[in-house]
Amino acid sequence: MVQVDGLSKRYGERTAVDGVSFSIRRGECLGLLGPNGAGKTTLLRLVLGTAIPSAGQLRVLGRAVPAQAGLVRTQIGLVPQADNLDPDFSVVENLYTYGRYFGLPKAKLDAQIPALLEFAALAERADAKIGDLSGGMKRRLTLARALINDPQLLILDEPTTGLDPQARQLIWRRLRQLLAQGKTLMITTHYMEEAERLCDRVMVMDKGRILATGSPAELIRTHIEPHVVEVYGAGVEPWLVQLGEAAAHRVERAGETVFCYARDERPLLESLSRAKELRFVHRPANLEDVFIKLTGRELGVMG
Amino acid sequence: MRHGLQWLPVWRRNFLVWRKLLLASLVGNFGEPLLYLLALGYGLGAFVGTVQGMPYIVFLASGIVCASAMNAATLEGTYSAYVRMAIQQTWDGILATPLGVRDIVFGELAWTGTKAFINAVPILLVAAALGAVHDWRALWVLPMVVLIGLSFGAMALVVTAFARGFDFFLYYATLVVTPMFLLSGVFFPLQGMPEWVQRGAQLLPLTHAVAIVRPLMTGQTLTQVAAHLSVLVAYTAGGFLLAIRLFRRRLVL
């Protein structure tokens, strides 16, 4: 579906994408995780052919991009990071207008649009103005718009950022429906939960490079200890020096909280059971732990 | 897919939005040139008497037709196009479809020509109703205002390709469009101006637009048509090609 070899993109001195290679199989959902400025959006633009690579090869749906990008885009749907719906048009008018950019005839749009409105749960709001829609509705309309050409590959740039939990879950259900229909998804996200729930495979990116690739379970298994004990409270420092550091396999700090990673959690829990002044949470390691281990705990540079 | 009309949906999108706001935009775009025509044509015309052997309002009407085509296309190619590009991200949305930068620029350019037509034709009709149109040759003004619109639309799109905000368009309006408005023979014949101004005016596309439209509307003899037309065509073609290059550099990163 997508085949990328040694792809780089430089803007002057800055390297946004630095020699990445990966592929996406038909029908899979690939997640792109990374701090802001990691190069995720640039990578999506390269796949779409709206950015020109500085080096490397890129084939999408069997064709070379950017050389044949126009043709390839007939088979791609994009949900951009910021909604760019047409504010002068109603919900349905947005769909018709966008469909015409793909050269789709009116009869085809007439047939397709009611189903898309249904899919986006916007059938009742078909004639609403864009300004009157909630954030979740706008995102669903953007998703419906991206499906107007019945694309094989759907590219989603942070599809649920800024949405409330209900709105997010509805988007997730729709994306799972699309996967069940055999569509291929490429999705960037800041939400580990989103990646764990939706993605067959996840790529962790930072500073333009791919740091790790694998299924969420694989990444957790290979990159991190299975147990995490988060400890906080007034006496956390002395406890750490006396007992914690010896009992944990690896320790990280984030403000007041100490994260203890361990293959065997029992020594940690035992020592904590004697330290009454400390509070702690014991949980299995998750994708966020992997992400933080790979990309660092400090804030990424915005870019 | 490649049938040469890919740009048409871009034009159509703008047309459909315009149609929604029909009344407001007609009043806004049509009202001002009409005021110029009536106030100056009758008010100033009472003092001026005849110009080049015709009543002042007859002289002025052809100039106002050209100026309104220029202004409509300029406004559409600068502020409105900028809103679609930078504020609403309409163009980003279009670039995710099979259409490319060339299709967008062509569609927008065609739309500036359309807007020029929409705004200039009512002025022509009013002029005809006021007896300021000599004969049926004036029908040639219809394609002319489209060409005028295209040449100013192409220039405006080049300016928009450099713009980082609305303020930028003030420079263009003040340094280019307004001097052109005043020094292209819209309000008065250029013969009375210093030699260097007359020569400079020959570089301005509006001068050549007026040089064709005025004879067509007033029944004067049309001279050097090919030369005047080729200036307008050159501005259109040059601006179009340059705008594509500039927008490609800006939009395809």
Residue of A nearest to B253 (CA): A51
Lowest mean pLDDT among A12-26, A233-247, B58-72, B176-190: A233-247
CA B243/CA B157 separation, integer angstroms: 6
Q: Give yes or no for residue A301 having a pLDDT over 90.
A: no
CA-CA distance, B239 to A41, in Å (whole number)? 32
**Between residues A191 and B33, the one the model is more confident about:** A191
pLDDT of residue A55: 95
Q: Binning pLDDT at 50, 70 and 90, where does residue A255 land?
A: confident
Q: What is the pLDDT of residues A65-74, one digit of tens each?
A: 999 999 999 9
Quick one: average pLDDT of A159-171?
90
Q: What's the pLDDT score for residue B32? A: 79
pLDDT at position A303 over 80: no
Q: What is the pLDDT along chain B (253 residues), one digit of tens a residue?
A: 456 889 999 999 999 999 998 888 777 767 878 888 889 999 999 998 899 999 999 999 999 999 999 999 999 999 999 999 999 999 999 999 999 999 999 999 999 999 999 999 999 999 999 889 999 999 999 999 999 999 999 999 999 999 999 999 999 999 999 999 999 999 999 988 899 999 999 999 999 999 999 999 999 999 999 999 999 999 999 999 999 999 999 999 8
CB-CB neighbors (< 8 A) of B21 in chain A: 88
> Nearest CB to B253: which of A45, A84, A101?
A45
Task: Using CB atoms within 10 Å of the CB of residue B12, give its burial: 0 to 12 exposed, 13 to 18 middle, 19+ buried.
Answer: middle
Task: Indicate the pLDDT class of residue A300, thresholds 50, 70 and 90.
Answer: very low
What SS3 string covers chain A? CEEEEEEEEEECCEEEEEEEEEEECCCCEEEEECCCCCCHHHHHHHHHCCCCCCEEEEEECCEECCCCHHHHHCCEEEECCCCCCCCCCEHHHHHHHHHHHCCCCHHHHHHHHHHHHHHCCCHHHCCCEHHHCCHHHHHHHHHHHHCCCCCCEEEEECCCCCCCHHHHHHHHHHHHHHHHCCCEEEEEECCHHHHHHHCCEEEEEECCEEEEEECHHHHHHHHCCCEEEEEECCCHHHHHHHHHHHHCCEEEEECCEEEEEECCCHHHHHHHHHCCCCEEEEEECCHHHHHHHHHCCCCCCCC
**Segment 81-100 of chain A within 8 Å of chain B by CB:** 82, 84-89, 93, 97-98, 100
Residue A97: list chain B partners with CB under 8 A: 9, 12-13, 16
Read off the tokens for A173: 């259900």
Predicted local distance difference test score (pLDDT) of residue A298: 58
Q: How many CB atoms lie within 10 A of CB B112?
A: 31
Q: For position A271, what pLDDT does the model report?
A: 83
- Percent of chain A exceeding pLDDT 70 equals 98
- Considering only CB atoms, which chain B residues are within 8 Å of A45? 253
**A:12-51 residues touching chain B, CB 8 A cutoff:** 42, 45, 48, 50-51
Among A7-16, A228-237, B108-117, the minimum mean pLDDT is found in: A228-237
Element (H, E) at B55: strand B54-55
The structure's pTM equals 0.90
Averaged pLDDT of chain B = 93
Taking an 8 Å cut-off on Cβ atoms, the answer to whether B94 and A70 are in contact is no
- Give the residue with greater pLDDT, A164 vs B147: B147
- Selection from B88, B121, B90 nearest residue B108 by Cα: B90
In the predicted model, what is the mean pLDDT of chain A?
91
pLDDT attached to residue B104: 97
Predicted local confidence at residue B2, as pLDDT: 57
Q: What are the residues whose beta carbons fall under 8 Å from the beta carbon of A44, sequence distance 6 or more?
A: A32, A78, A155, A157, A186, A188
pLDDT at A239: 83
Residues B16, A97: C-beta atoms closer than 8 Å: yes
CB contact under 8 A, B9 and A100: yes
Percent pLDDT > 90 in chain A is 68
B17, B100, B253 member nearest A70 (Cβ): B100
Q: What's the alpha-carbon Rg for chain B, to the nearest Å? A: 18
Chain A interface disruption, residue of B10, B13, B19, B85, most A CBs within 10 A: B13
Using the predicted structure, report yes or no on whether residue A190 has a pLDDT greater than 90: no
User: How close B250 comes to chain A (CA, Å)?
Assistant: 11
Which chain A positions have a beta carbon within 8 Å of B16's beta carbon? 89, 93, 97
pLDDT value for A276: 80
pLDDT of residue A297: 62
Tens digits of residue pLDDT in B106-136: 999 999 999 999 999 999 999 999 889 999 9
| pLDDT band with cut points at 50, 70 and 90 for residue A302 | very low
User: Please, what sign has the CA dihedral across residues A89, A93, A94, A100?
Assistant: negative
CB contact under 8 A, B98 and A97: no
What is the predicted pLDDT for the residue at A137? 94
Q: Which positions in chain A touch B253 (Cβ < 8 Å)?
A: 11, 42, 45, 50-52
